[in-house]
């Protein structure tokens, strides 16, 4: 499901273990991001444990992915000697005091020009000298940050921190929100909805010839969005099903009626409820905008790749080949009771594995 979720993303974050570097799953997901030319931000986590050299991590990313990195938050030490990070964008050192893991780390900011205070606060001559050397080396040898290359997926801003000690994460999120691309539009096919008794037959006859030749921008007047993921039984007490929509244009309003790219012309669906999910928490949504992801109740009519829209023009975002394969397998398995009761993700993955092994 991670791969389908990337279809809805405008930016991606590559999370690395500071001790392990690149792992097999990271390599697979990177290829998907590269195919979509997503801007990629790299966060190296677990600096509070013994870690690889930051230069080793940079070399590993460049050698295996051919991706140039630009360090923005540079670490000062690792493991028990992890003192903080240097923000290279404004030459300020963020030093933290280790505290309770459940509480926010106490942070002190020291400008790089205040060397006397910096040396005193770091209280480790080796780390202090290493910081000065690293700052000079990075300034002279690393290519400058080029946001055009970042947006094209050719350069990745690099950050270091520790989620366990709750340090560096907020700094990264602030930078990510400032630097990341805004919600993008999507190419789609656009045509007037057919009406009359033979509308369905005509539409089915022309669907195979449709091409995504129209850019639906976030400022497009009508609501549109595509379903990139479905999920069942989020609540153990209820056999609920949700379809996740990435909004492309217009705005979602609770109770709005929408058209469906695979339903007959004129048929509308009432989106009476929508929610956002964060972990196990759910929150009802009244209004949502381009770039937002919302979950709606799925009565069984919505599938991965479907488009929901308002207005007199039918909007259909293109469906990838993998989505078509998934939907065909789901149609074949839909009569299995276990599929309906427990969700089809496990069964689907097993059938694909059996199919590919035969």
Question: Coil, strand, or helix at residue 2?
Answer: helix
- Euclidean distance between CA atoms 358 and 203, whole angstroms: 37
> What pLDDT sits at residue 353?
35
Candidates 273, 253, 348, 352; CA nearest to 304 is: 348
Tokens of 301: 């009519």
Find out whether 192 and 78 touch, Cβ atoms under 8 Å: no
Q: In what helix (H) or strand (E) does residue 46 lie, and over which residues does it extend? A: none
pTM, to two decimals: 0.81
CA–CA distance, 242 with 297 (Å, rounded to integer): 5
Mean pLDDT, 10 residues at a time, the chain of 358 residues: 76 95 89 88 96 97 95 96 96 84 77 95 96 96 94 96 90 95 91 63 51 88 94 73 94 95 90 85 92 92 93 86 49 44 38 34
Residue 69: what pLDDT? 97
CATH number of 186-319: 3.40.50.300
Q: Find, among 231, 220, 212, 149, the residue nearest to 184 by Cα.
A: 220
Pick the CATH number of 2-179 from 3.40.50.300, 3.40.190.10, 3.30.1330.60, 3.40.430.10: 3.40.50.300
Token readout for 111 is 């400008």
135 SS3 class: helix
Secondary structure in 3-state letters for 67-82:
CEEEECEEEECCHHHC
Q: In this structure, are strands 155-160 and 40-45 parallel, antiparallel, or unpaired?
A: parallel
> What number of other Cβ atoms are within 10 A of residue 268's Cβ?
12
Which tens digit of pLDDT belongs to each residue from 270-281?
Answer: 999 899 887 778
Reference 29, options 18, 16, 19; nearest CA is 16
- Evaluate whether 2-179 and 186-319 have a shared fold: yes
- pLDDT of 104: 66
The sheet with strand 307-309 has its strands ordered as: 269-270, 257-260, 307-309, 224-232, 241-249, 293-297, 274-278, 281-284
Residue-range domain boundaries for the chain: 2-179, 186-319
Neighbours of 252 (CB within 10 A): 23
**pLDDT, position 6:** 80
The answer to whether 258 and 269 are in contact (CB under 8 A) is yes
């Amino acid at each position: 499901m991670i791969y389908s979720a990337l279809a809805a993303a405008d930016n991606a974050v590559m999370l690395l273990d500071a001790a392990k570097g690149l792992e097999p799953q990271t390599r697979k997901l990177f290829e998907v991001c590269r195919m979509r030319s997503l801007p990629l931000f790299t966060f190296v986590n677990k600096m509070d444990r013994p870690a690889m050299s930051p230069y080793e991590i940079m070399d590993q990313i460049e050698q295996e992915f051919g991706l140039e990195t630009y360090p923005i938050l540079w670490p000062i030490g690792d493991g028990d000697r992890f003192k903080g990070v240097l923000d290279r964008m404004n030459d300020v050192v963020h030093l933290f005091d280790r505290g309770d893991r459940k509480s926010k780390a106490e942070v002190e900011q020291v400008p790089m020009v205040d060397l006397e205070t910096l040396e005193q606060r770091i209280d480790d001559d080796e780390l202090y000298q290493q910081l000065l050397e690293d700052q000079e080396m990075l300034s002279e040898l690393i290519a400058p940050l080029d946001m055009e290359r970042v947006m094209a997926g050719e350069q990745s801003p690099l950050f270091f921190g520790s989620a366990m000690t709750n340090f560096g994460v907020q700094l990264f999120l602030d930078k990510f929100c400032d630097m990341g691309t805004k919600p993008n539009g999507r190419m789609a096919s656009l045509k007037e909805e057919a009406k009359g008794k033979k509308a369905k037959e005509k539409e089915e006859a022309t669907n195979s010839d449709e091409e995504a030749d129209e850019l639906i921008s976030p400022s497009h007047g009508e609501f549109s969005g595509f379903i990139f993921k479905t999920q069942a039984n989020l609540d153990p007490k209820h056999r609920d099903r949700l379809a996740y929509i990435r909004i492309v244009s217009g705005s979602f309003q609770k109770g709005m009626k929408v058209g469906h790219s695979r339903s007959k012309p004129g048929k509308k669906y009432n989106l009476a409820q929508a929610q956002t999910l964060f972990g196990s928490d759910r929150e009802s949504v009244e209004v949502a905008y381009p770039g937002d992801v919302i979950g709606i109740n799925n009565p069984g009519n919505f599938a991965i790749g479907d488009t929901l829209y308002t207005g007199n023009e039918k909007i259909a975002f293109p469906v990838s080949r993998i989505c078509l394969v998934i939907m065909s397998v789901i149609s074949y398995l839909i009569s299995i009771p276990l599929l309906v009761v427990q969700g089809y993700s496990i069964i689907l993955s097993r059938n694909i594995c059996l199919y590919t092994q035969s």
